[in-house]
Amino acid sequence: MSFNKFLKILITILFCIFLPLISKAAILYLEPDSGEYYQGDTFIVETKVDTEGECINTVEANLSFPQDILTATDFSQGNSILTLWVKSPTIEQESGLISFAGGIPGGYCGKLPGEPGELDLLGKIIFQAKEVSGEQISAELEFLEGSQVLLNDGFGTPAKLTTKGAVFTVLAERLEIPEDEWKKELEKDNTPPELFKIEVHQEPTIFEGKYFIIFSTTDKQTGIDYYQVKEGKRDWKGIVSPYLLEDQSLKSKILVRAVDKAGNERIVEYLPPRKPFPYWIVLVPIGLIIIGWIIKKLKIKR
Amino acid sequence: MKNVQIYFLLILVILGGFILIFYYAQAQVSGTVNISAQVPSPPSPPPAGGGGVYIPPIETKVIIQGKAYPLISVTVLQDGKVATVTNADSQANFKVEISKITPGVWTFGVWAEDKKGVKSITFSFTTNIISGMITTISGIFLPPTIEIDKTLVQRGEILNILGQTAPQSEVSIIVNSPEEIIKKTKAETDGTWFYDFDTTPLEEGSHTSRAKATSLEGLSSTFSQALGFSVGKGMPGAIQKVDINGDGKINLVDFSILLYNWGIPKNPATDFNDDGKVNLTDFSIMLFYWTG
């Protein structure tokens, strides 16, 4: 091997070693990043973040997928590191777009030493492979511009970001019983969402100073599907937090139901504060009787 | 022979590179916080000749322990909500146990208020709680609280920087300027610390100061929040007003108000960075100061 050749190899090795250190950036990626599925199969793609040693607190992800090859049937927030969702996961099947934004109060700095399990999960996308013509076809998923990760530095500084998409192959055949990874997860989940509480608030700057409720919970298995509210005798209806109360007199009992993707539910209630018992109704007549009795006694003495 | 020497030298460089990477990787995970998980001890065997055996349900529990400031209350958050409040002892040690927890990924946060009522930032960590295991998170050391006595100083004037941490910890104070200035001081036995910072080396304009501490046992904290101040002219560079409704907490109520004002703010107080929009940047700033 000539010296020049050796030098080239050396430079390449050093470049490979040191480049990742110089260009340290958060990575948004998909797992798995490849795979083969039959038509009709339902599979799960996890969106994840690698903080690369940075402390982050906010993630916005915008993903594109080929809507003619895959159907995005659902999005699961179960076991996500994101606990507050500023933009709930949205699937736009017609345009082949999935987007969400959420955050971690206090931030997330990656795995701690000794961490026993898998972390870094932002959410799970559930795809179903469509019927395809021809032998097989590739489906490419990629993060779009506008995806961002913000540092937990008190200034909302955007982290340098690298994204890694995924490519799946949809085969022309169809299994007699299509594979369904999501159904298996749903069947395993028999745990209701975490306990939570309803808080009633009134703030001059929102809802024109009217009463509203706030609530938030998580589901560690398949994730929260929806929330419903019931005020007094009114019907259940779908809501998000914050919710402007219909009964501004606060006399109605409020129930909020959190339902996870597997249909397990947790219902919590808020009882309106009771008015104190009107003791004067008892005390005033007793007082009058006592006064009358004293007056009567005084008259008898005279 | 000369070629052999060059090759030898180059191999040394490669080896040096690997050593650097190894060192770098170690530095990334060398935080003092540690997680350990253990299976709870099995129940003791029944006495001979006894009846049926009661096997208690396997416990899933989290233990969080570390250092804050002496004799203050420490708030522990679980997925952003207050889980429990405990007291630190005179040596600033605290310990909490959270039982009946669902297995899965949880984010815990710890913050405290020092003896003057100044809040620390929330120290946060995410872990996977495994069913039937006791997960212990140890080695937490809350960042020091920090205050400055003024936000506008003339160049050369003394800026008093103070706060509280664990007793007799070494406090490093970092003041940003074109070149970062690092000063050190030692906390008193009650954890209070103080530094007279001479602003002569600072240029006119906005600056920030923050602090971190190393305890007597060698635990290292993360940085405190950054406080802004100006030398000569200009406005302080750090954001300090995130509690929108002024109730002393930054929690779901403030988050609700932020969501209500999303986009073009109806309430300017929700636009923390004054860029005319309420967006992800403001959300991120709120999460940094979160108290639950």
Nearest Cβ partner for A107 among B245, B260, B287: B287
Q: For residue A114, which residues of chain B lie inside 8 Å, CB to CB?
A: 34-37
pLDDT bin (cut points 50, 70, 90) of residue B206 is confident
Q: For residue A199, which residues of chain B lie inside 8 Å, CB to CB?
A: 252-253
> In terms of domains, do B282 and B220 share one?
no
Return the pLDDT at B92: 97
Residue of B192, B202, B190, B274 lying closest to B232 (CA atoms): B202
Mean pLDDT (whole number) for A149-164: 94
Listed as own residue / partner, the contacts of A140-143 with beta carbons closer than 8 Å and 24 or more positions apart are A140/A65, A140/A66, A140/A165, A140/A166, A140/A167, A141/A30, A141/A45, A141/A63, A141/A64, A141/A65, A141/A165, A141/A166, A141/A167, A141/A168, A142/A63, A142/A64, A143/A28, A143/A61, A143/A62, A143/A63
CB atoms within 10 A of CB A17: 14
pLDDT bin (cut points 50, 70, 90) of residue A16 is very low
Inter-chain residue contact A115 with B35, CB threshold 8 Å: yes
Q: Given strand B205-214, what is the order of strands in its sheet?
A: B152-153, B227-231, B205-214, B170-175, B181-186
Q: Which one-letter amino acid corresponds to residue A166?
A: A
How far A33 CA lies from chain B's nearest CA (Å)? 23
Mean pLDDT (whole number) for A227-256: 96
pLDDT of B235 above 60: no
* Residue B68 belongs to a domain: yes
Mean pLDDT (whole number) for B76-93: 95
Mean pLDDT (whole number) for B9-29: 52
pLDDT of B25 above 50: no
Whole-number Å distance between alpha carbons of B13 and B200: 43
Mean pLDDT (whole number) for A17-41: 80
Nearest Cβ partner for B105 among A121, A191, A203: A121
- Mean model confidence pLDDT for chain A: 90
Whole-number Å distance between alpha carbons of B81 and B290: 10
Give the number of domains in chain B.
3
pLDDT of A280 above 90: no
pLDDT of B237 above 70: no
For chain A, the structural domain boundaries read 24-187, 199-270
Mean pLDDT (whole number) for A218-228: 96
Mean pLDDT (whole number) for B23-48: 54
DSSP class of residue A16 equals: H
Domain of B65 in residue numbering reads as 34-39+58-141
Residue of B242, B126, B278 lying closest to A80 (CA atoms): B126
Mean pLDDT (whole number) for A219-227: 96
Domain boundary among B141, B164, B181: B141
Instruction: Give CATH for domain A24-187.
Output: 2.60.40.680
Inter-chain residue contact A17 with B21, CB threshold 8 Å: yes
pLDDT bin (cut points 50, 70, 90) of residue B51 is low
b/e A262-292 (16+ beta carbons within 10 angstroms → b): bebebebebeeeeeeeeeeeeeeeeeeeeee
Does any CB of chain B come closer than 8 Å to the CB of residue A207? yes
Whole-number Å distance between alpha carbons of B129 and B183: 40
B234 vs B176, which has greater pLDDT? Answer: B176
Bridge-based pairing state of the strands B134-141 and B61-67: parallel
Whole-number Å distance between alpha carbons of A255 and A197: 10
Return the pLDDT at B210: 94
Q: For residue B121, which residues of chain A lie inside 8 Å, CB to CB?
A: 106, 154
* Residue B166 belongs to a domain: yes
Radius of gyration, CA atoms only, chain A? 30
Return the pLDDT at A299: 84
> In terms of domains, do B151 and B81 share one?
no
Q: Of A4-13, A159-168, B17-26, B212-221, where does mean pLDDT reach its minimum?
A: B17-26
> In terms of domains, do B153 and B215 share one?
yes
- Mean model confidence pLDDT for chain B: 85
How far A79 CA lies from chain B's nearest CA (Å)? 5
> Residue A150: closest CA among chain B residues belongs to which residue?
B284
CATH 2.60.40 holds for A199-270:
yes
Chain A with chain B: Cβ pairs closer than 8 A: 192
Question: Which stretches does DSSP call E strand in B200-268?
Answer: 205-214, 227-231
Is the distance from CB of A172 to CB of A39 less than 8 angstroms?
Answer: yes
Return the pLDDT at B274: 87
Domain boundary among B141, B175, B202: B141
> Residue A222: closest CA among chain B residues belongs to which residue?
B104
Domain boundary among B213, B231, B249: B231
Domains A24-187 and A199-270 share a fold: yes
Return the pLDDT at B30: 36
Mean pLDDT (whole number) for B71-77: 96
Return the pLDDT at B182: 96
Residue of A84, A61, A156 lying closest to B284 (CA atoms): A156
pLDDT bin (cut points 50, 70, 90) of residue A275 is confident
pLDDT bin (cut points 50, 70, 90) of residue A23 is very low
> In terms of domains, do B271 and B199 share one?
no
Question: The CATH number of the domain where B76 resides is what?
Answer: 2.60.40.10
How far A95 CA lies from chain B's nearest CA (Å)? 24
Instruction: Please give the share of chain A, as a percent, with pLDDT higher than 90.
Output: 73
> In terms of domains, do B66 and B129 share one?
yes
How far A229 CA lies from chain B's nearest CA (Å)? 17
Return the pLDDT at B41: 60
The residue written with tokens 């529990």 in the block is: B61
> In terms of domains, do B216 and B259 share one?
no
Q: Is the ipTM of this complex over 0.85?
A: no
* Residue B3 belongs to a domain: no
If residue B12 lies in a helix (H) or strand (E), which one and from where to where? helix B2-28
pTM: 0.80
pLDDT of B1 above 80: no
Q: Is B99 exposed, middle or buried (0-12, 13-18, 19+ CB in 10 A)?
A: exposed
Inter-chain residue contact B137 with A191, CB threshold 8 Å: no
Residue of A223, A225, A292, A280 lying closest to A257 (CA atoms): A225
Residue A61 CA, chain-centre distance (Å), reads 13
At A17, phi and psi to the nearest 5?
A: -75, -45
Mean pLDDT (whole number) for A125-138: 91
pLDDT of B44 above 70: no
pLDDT of B175 above 70: yes
A272 vs A62, which has greater pLDDT? Answer: A62
Is the distance from CB of B250 to CB of B286 less than 8 angstroms?
Answer: yes
